[in-house]
Structures are given as C-alpha cells and as structure tokens.
Structure 1
Amino acid sequence: MLPIREKLEHVGGLSKLKACLKQKATVLAKLNEAREFGVEMPKGIMIVGMPGCGKSPTAKATAALFKLPLLRLDVGSLMGKYVGESENSMRRALRLADAVSPCVLWIDELEKAFVGMGSSGSGSGSEVTSRLFGYSLTWMQERISPVFVLATANDISGLPPELMRKGRFDEIFYVDFPNRRERAEIFEVHLKRRIKLSDLIDSNQLADKTEGFSGADIEAVVNEAIGPAFVNGRLPHSSSRSRQMSR
C-alpha cells in the first residue's frame, strides 16, 4: 500500500485520460445510484506508452481522485523458484486486493507478468506464466469486489490479445511525448511549487525549446536549473530578470 501525495492537477497534459478518470470517480462516488441506473461498475483502465510520460503519477493521482487506498502489485516479485509458488503469490495478492476493496490496484509494468506468453516452448517458465495469465483473466472477468485496476505498460506488443479485448479494461490509453501545449502545462505544474518563480517565467517560451522532451525530462530541467539559480543568487525580482533566467 502506497502513500498518496500526487493529485490529478499535479499531472500536466493527458486531458482525455483525466476526463475519463473524473467520469469514473463520479460513478464510484455514487455507485449504488449508478447501479440502479444501469451503469456497470468501473473495472479499470490500461495506460500504455513511453517511459517518463506520466503513467506512474497518473496511477497515484487516480487513487487520490477516487479517495481510495492505492495498492501496487509488483509483478516481478510474483515469480518464485519453487513449483506453485508463483501462482500462490498471485492468489494472495488478488485476495488481499479483494479484502481491502474498495481500492485502486496499480499493476505496474504489466508486460513483465506475462513474458513468455505465446512462446512455442513448453518449458516450466512458460507453463507458470500461462497459469498466472489464466488466473488473472478469471479474476478480472468475474470479480464482484470494487477493485479498480489501473495497469501500466511500456510495451504491449507481446501481450496476449485476450488481455486487450473489451471487458478486461474499460479503456486503453496511449500516452506519447507531450505536445507544445502539454509541455507548457507540465512546466507550470512544476513551477507552481516554486511560488516565487511561477508568475515570472514564461512557460510557453520554455515549451518551445523542449520539443521531444518527456514529462520526466521537463521535471529534471526544472530541478537542475533551480539549484544553481539559488546558489548564484539569481532569484528574479522583475520581469526582465525572469526573461534572463528563462533563457
């Protein structure tokens, strides 16, 4: 179970993904009314895309938006060296999520859980993966507990098609490198944490100069620039100084 510090407003860009999450939050907040209206309980979403483009912060912010505890499933730790150990680990993890529910279950780097699926080999590793996959599909399809699954993955090319079909997840989103508008939003998110700088630096100018940067790259730019600016006493006191600093 992870502590929740991020909020949805701390994530720049991703407007369509945010709109979807806000809709799900409304349904979960009025779940009984929604069920009477005929709305199905939200199952979850998958976020796929480049590293550093907001998948992990979004997962954490989702729990804050839903006002639910956040559980992170480390799929790499499921694999054991003894017969049946991996399957038992998966069952324990999913039973725990059911017991804690309502909650958000963040399955990070989903592709690592099912590596080897589709392999022509019949080794024990492939058999274990197949059993894990089958158990996971059954749980995702048949669970009745209010567990919202948020899966993140960098590469889904090797995932089985059964996992991607409608019914496993409500929606699948692809996140790419941010465009100019989104880069400006991301700069503003990080600059607002520095109150003395937020109104003095032109985020649009910075967005023009950072084409091809990921969200993590932009955060690193701000973090790396603020330290030397403080040490060198270059805190801007006027718009002219802010333009000099932004350059």
Structure 2
Amino acid sequence: MADLVSQLFNLIEQQNPLVAVESPSQERIRLLEKLTSECALRNINCYIWMLEDDQLYRLQIDGQQLSLEQLSEYKPNTFKNVREDYFEVLRFWKTTSLQGILILEGIFPWISQATIDSDFFLTAEWIKSALINLKLYNQNSHKTAILLGPNASLSSDIAALIPTITQELPTVEKINVHLESILPTTYSSIEINEIANASVGMYLADIEIGLRSAIAVEIQEVSLADKISNEKINLLKRVYNIEFFQPSAHAVGGLELMQGVFKKYKRLLTPLAKAYNLKLPKGVLLVGPPGTGKSHSAKACSQILGFPLIVLEWSSFRSYGNQAEYKLKKLLGLVDRINRVLLYLDDFDKGFAGDDDLSRRLAGMLLTWMQERTSEAIVIASVNNLDYLPPELTRAGRFDDIFKVDLPNNGERYEIFKIHLGRFDQRFLNGGDAFTEQEWRRLLKETHRCVGAEIQNIVERAAANTFCAMFPTDVPLTNEPTVLEITLSSLLEARQNINPLAIREADKVERMRNKASLQGLPSSPVDDSVYSNGNVNIFS
C-alpha cells in the first residue's frame, strides 16, 4: 500500500491533474486511510465522490479513524434528466476554487470499453470529453482527480492521457511484517513465516478476514498456516474460478519419460543451476486423446517439483466477454506473485475453437507474459486437437516441450488398475497383488484401448457391485468393516458396461494420436513389462 501511495504522489508532484488507480474493493478502506494520512502530512485536502449518492465529502482521519464530512459547496441536480447529470462533479471540479485531491469512484465502466448501445456511447463520450477538459483546464492548478476502481481499464482513445498505477499483491516479506503487527506475540517468527508463505496470493484485507475465520475454526491438530491455506483455496476459487492444489502424492501409471523430464526441471531450480544461468522452460504441452491422464499427470508433476498447482479451464475465459482480458491479467499477476507454481490450462485448444478476435487477444496476452515473465512459474497446457492452436503457440520458446500422452500400453494399464484397485481392495496396496499372470493378461486384453479414466470407471463400478453383493440389505456398521475383495469377473462385467472412446470414436482418436506423434515427444518408454505384447510366448 505504501508503494502505491508513493507512486501516486510522484505522479501528482509531476503536475498530473488526472490519474487512474486500480485497487481491489476489499482494500478500499485501507487505501483511503493511507491516502488521507499522507494528505494530512502534506497539508493537502482530500475529497471523495461516489456515484451511489452523487455527494462530495472531505476525507479526514483522526488517529486510525477515517471520517467523511459532506461539503455544501457541491450541489448536484436533484432532478436528473439525462445520464450526464449524474457526473456533474466533473464540471464542478474543473471550475471550483477547492484544491487538493478528488477521488472519483464509479467512472471506469463508462470509459473502459467500446459499446454499440447508442445511449451508453453518448454518455461515455461525454465523460471522456469532460475528463480531457478537466486535464487541460486543471494543469498546474494544484488539483488532482483520481479515478479509483478495481478494474482501471481505459479505452484506447484516452489511455495515453491518463497515467495508471495498479496495487499489486503483497510480497511474502510485506505479509510477514503485517502479520507481526496483528498476530499475538505467542506466535514465533517461524510460525509467522509459515503463515505468510501460505498467504501469498491474497491481499492484506483478505488475509485479515481469513485469519479471523481460521482462528474461529476449533481444530487443534491443524496449524494456522494450514487453515489460512484452506481459506486461500476457497478465495481463489471464488475470485478467479480456478482450482488450487498444494503439492501432494499422486500415483501415476506410466508416463515415466515425462516425469523424468520434470525431475530435471527440479534440478534447474537449484542455486548451482542458476549460477550457470540455466532457467526453467516457459511451457509444456500435453497432447493426446481425452482421458489419457493429462490432468492427473499435471498433479504428479506438481508433486515432483514441490510446486502448488493452479488448474484453469482455458475456454472459460471466453464466457467473461469484455472482462476476459482483465481476468487473465489478474490471474497472471497472481501466478507471478506466488512465483513457484504450475499453471495448468485444461482443454487449452477449446479456447481457440471459435477462432475469434477475443481468442487471439487472450493468446497474445499469454504469449507476451510467457516471454517476459521473470517468475519461476511453469505453464502446462493439455490439448486434444493441435489444429485449433495458433502456429505461434507451438514454436520453440513458447511451449518448450511437447509430450504425446497416448493410450496406455499393457504395462501402464496394469499399473493404473493396481492404483485404483488399491483404493478399495487392500490386497493391491503396497505392491500387493491378488490376480495371477493369466488373469491379468485376460483383463488387459479385454481393456485394450481403454484410457486411464475408463479404467478408473471400471474399477469403481466393480467395487460398487461387489459391495452390493456383499451387503444386499443395510446392516449395522461394525468396528472393522469387512474388506472388499474385487474379483476378475466383477471387473470384466463392469468392462462390458462401457464403450471406450478409442473404439467408439476410433477415427477421431487415431487422427489425434497421429498428429500428436508428429509434434510431441513420447511420454512413456516402450513397454518392457511382463505383460507387453512382445513378451507373449505363443508356443506355451
């Protein structure tokens, strides 16, 4: 906050009569308090106008208490015949003898975008004209108008006239200092540092709200850092429409080559690698048919690197319309502030299916950010159809590695089955097995061309059928529930109830696989397991 106010007064001292300030709504009171305090120190009057009631107030601060005093000098029209009457304050500030800083709220929606609505257009043009006149008329007059809002986007015709400053997310160091001032002295510096690291990606106001909510949750075995991390996850989902996962253990069947590459990436994070000026790749593309485990493998890569994972459905940006670029800018700012994070763009190609101007602008923003960013974030994007992607996205220097995530081979399907069987049948945990080699061969043959998602569905169906067969009616729960034992026959029965995508849409899937083979590196080695087709003894 201090940096934002400092930037603002630098612009004021340079005789800028008009400044745009982007600050989130939850930080509004903190900003007004800081700005009013600074004005008091400089002996500058500070005023605020709000569209809500069309009144002008003088901001004053007594200690830490902010107060508003309504000014009688401003007398708005009681009867507003046209929309322009709601913005009479712009004419007033141009000609009044009052000096100082005037904060204007509620202006940005009118000056941020083009519109085809004639009434809205005329009002927007009137406001732009009034702002331009205000800038020219108030030059060197010791009067500054500050346009304040959570989204300080300006249309191109006035963007050059109005300098813009943005309140960035606080760094972990600033969060640490703030926590030391508000947390009880019973918290050690180590605990405060853990809470600060868990809070990165939140504004100070959000952190304070999250702390109050976290402290109210009476779960003694959960640390405050973990509680605030959960609060952050919920907040990010509401604000950015994303899923946020801390790195956790995820078993993956196969994809050893891709996982090996991410282990190399981890070595590039070391101080020794940085001494040689080695850097992480900017992006990784995962190409392959649906259900082959691209999303699950991103979680495994998060575990390997120790990075949290942000999951975003890229095509969802199209639904934001004129707000799409603003939403993307804020999200990329969040990624930069967290720094070491994986940004996973799910179904990346679907965001370009329309081939419209919005898709190209969003792609341009992403490419510019990927090219210029200094954070250690990695972008992982999953793609089903490479044809939808603009060619510039797939060239070297954008997505440095492209992996083909293919239909799992016999050995990988064996591993995937064991991972999911272990969720229900304890015999398959910790490397255990309950089937013979011949039984496995039959199951793998019957699930040829099944992907990981379909194997998961088969196991879950078989587990449910096994449970219903064991307990045809409700029975009281004992201390130790009876262990489920999933049989080969139940798995084969469940297999008959699904029609794999690679069989149902064979032509489309094969086209995807062939194109992925031309562009991507294999993510799995050649199957050398005992269940490989090459290991079948035809003479037995």
TM-score band w.r.t. shorter chain: 0.7 to 0.9
Cα displacement (A) at 1:246 = 6.2
CA contact 2:312–2:345 (8 Å) conserved in 1: yes
Show structure 1 runs of 5+ residues with no match. 118-125
Cα displacement (A) at 1:89 = 1.5
Task: Give yes or no for the alignment of 1:193 onto 2:423.
Answer: yes
CA contact 2:244–2:309 (8 Å) conserved in 1: yes
Q: State the partner residue of 1:106.
A: 344
Task: Give yes or no for the alignment of 1:34 onto 2:268.
Answer: no
The one-letter code matched in structure 2 to 1:2 is: F
Cα displacement (A) at 1:47 = 0.5
Q: State the partner residue of 2:8.
A: none
Cα displacement (A) at 1:155 = 1.2
Match of 2:443 among 180, 190, 206: 206
1:40-189 aligned within 5 A: 40-79=279-318, 83=322, 85-117=323-355, 126-189=356-419
Deviation string, structure 1 residues 124-177 (Cα, Å, up to 9, x no partner): xx2222221211111111111111111111111121111001111221011121
Task: Give yes or no for the alignment of 1:228 onto 2:465.
Answer: yes
Cα displacement (A) at 1:51 = 0.9
Q: State the partner residue of 1:23.
A: 264
- Aligned in 2, Cα 1:3/1:246: closer, same or farther, shift over 3 Å? same
In 2, Cα distance between the equivalents of 1:179 and 1:69?
Answer: 30
Deviation string, structure 1 residues 31-58 (Cα, Å, up to 9, x no partner): x211213422232311011111101111
CA contact 1:108–1:152 (8 Å) conserved in 2: yes
CA contact 1:102–1:147 (8 Å) conserved in 2: yes
Q: TM-score, normalised by structure 2?
A: 0.40
The one-letter code matched in structure 1 to 2:260 is: A
The one-letter code matched in structure 2 to 1:218 is: I
The size of the alignment, in residue pairs, is 232
CA contact 2:247–2:302 (8 Å) conserved in 1: no
CA contact 1:45–1:172 (8 Å) conserved in 2: yes
1:2 aligns to what SS in structure 2?
strand
Task: Give yes or no for the alignment of 1:3 onto 2:255.
Answer: no
Identity score, percent: 34
Cα displacement (A) at 1:195 = 4.5
Q: TM-score, normalised by structure 1?
A: 0.83
In 1, Cα distance between the equivalents of 2:307 and 2:247?
Answer: 13
Cα displacement (A) at 1:70 = 1.3
Cα displacement (A) at 1:184 = 0.8
- Aligned in 2, Cα 1:25/1:192: closer, same or farther, shift over 3 Å? farther
1:113 aligns to what SS in structure 2?
helix
In 1, Cα distance between the equivalents of 2:351 and 2:484?
Answer: 49
In 2, Cα distance between the equivalents of 1:141 and 1:128?
Answer: 20
CA contact 1:35–1:41 (8 Å) conserved in 2: no
Deviation string, structure 1 residues 166-223 (Cα, Å, up to 9, x no partner): 1112210111211111111111111223353312134444212210111111111111
CA contact 2:247–2:307 (8 Å) conserved in 1: no
In 2, Cα distance between the equivalents of 1:81 and 1:25?
Answer: 35
Cα displacement (A) at 1:242 = 5.5
2:434 aligns to what SS in structure 1?
coil
The one-letter code matched in structure 2 to 1:24 is: Y
Cα displacement (A) at 1:107 = 1.0
1:79 aligns to what SS in structure 2?
helix
1:157 aligns to what SS in structure 2?
helix
The one-letter code matched in structure 1 to 2:244 is: L
Cα displacement (A) at 1:24 = 1.5
Cα displacement (A) at 1:7 = 3.1
- Aligned in 2, Cα 1:147/1:55: closer, same or farther, shift over 3 Å? same
In 2, Cα distance between the equivalents of 1:60 and 1:135?
Answer: 25
Show structure 2 runs of 5+ residues with no match. 1-242, 472-482, 493-540
In 2, Cα distance between the equivalents of 1:236 and 1:60?
Answer: 28
1:56 aligns to what SS in structure 2?
helix
Deviation string, structure 1 residues 46-89 (Cα, Å, up to 9, x no partner): 10111111011111222122112211223233235654x22112
In 2, Cα distance between the equivalents of 1:49 and 1:144?
Answer: 30
CA contact 2:465–2:490 (8 Å) conserved in 1: no
In 2, Cα distance between the equivalents of 1:96 and 1:38?
Answer: 25
Deviation string, structure 1 residues 102-130 (Cα, Å, up to 9, x no partner): 1111111111233344xxxxxxxx22222
Task: Identify which of structures 1 and 2 has the higher relative contact order when contacts are C-alpha pairs closer than 8 Å and 6+ apart.
Answer: 1
